[in-house]
Amino acid sequence: MQQPTGHVMRFSNLPIAVRLTLGFAVLALGTLLAAGAGWFGIERQATLASRVVDQDVKFALAVANIRNGVQMLRGFEKDMLANVTSPAGLQKYWGQWTEARGQVNDRVGQARLTASSEAERAGLDRLSAAVAKYADGMQALHTEVTDRKIVVPEQGYQRVAEFAQAIRDTEDAAKGLLDGASQRIDALKPALDTNTRAVVLILAAVTGVATLLAVLIAVLISRSVTVPVAGAVQVAEALARGDLTMKIDSHSSDEVGRLMQALQGTVRQLATMIGRIKETSDRVGSASRELVQGNADLSSRTEQQASALEETSASM
Give the whole-angstrom CA distance, residue 126 versus residue 132: 10
Residues 6+ apart with CB under 8 A from 79: 89, 93, 96
Domain boundaries, the chain: 16-215, 244-316
DSSP 46-60: HHHHHHIIIIIIHHH
Residues 6+ apart with CB under 8 A from 39: none
Give buried/exposed letters for 76-92 (b at 16+ CB in 10 A, else e).
bbebbbebbeeeeebee
CB atoms within 10 A of CB 220: 15
- Which runs of consecutive H residues, i.e. helices, occur in the chain? 16-51, 58-82, 87-114, 118-146, 153-162, 164-241, 255-315
CATH 3.30.1490.20 fits 16-215, yes or no: no
Q: What is the pLDDT along the chain (316 residues), one digit of tens a residue?
A: 334 434 345 666 667 677 777 777 777 777 777 777 777 777 776 676 666 666 777 888 888 898 899 889 999 999 998 998 888 998 999 999 999 999 999 999 988 888 878 888 898 999 999 999 999 999 999 999 999 898 898 998 898 999 889 888 988 888 888 888 777 777 777 777 777 787 778 778 877 887 887 788 777 777 777 777 777 777 777 777 777 676 766 666 666 677 777 777 777 777 788 778 877 877 777 777 777 777 777 777 777 777 766 667 666 6
pTM here? 0.51
The helix or strand, by DSSP H or E, that contains position 316, with its residue range, turns out to be: none
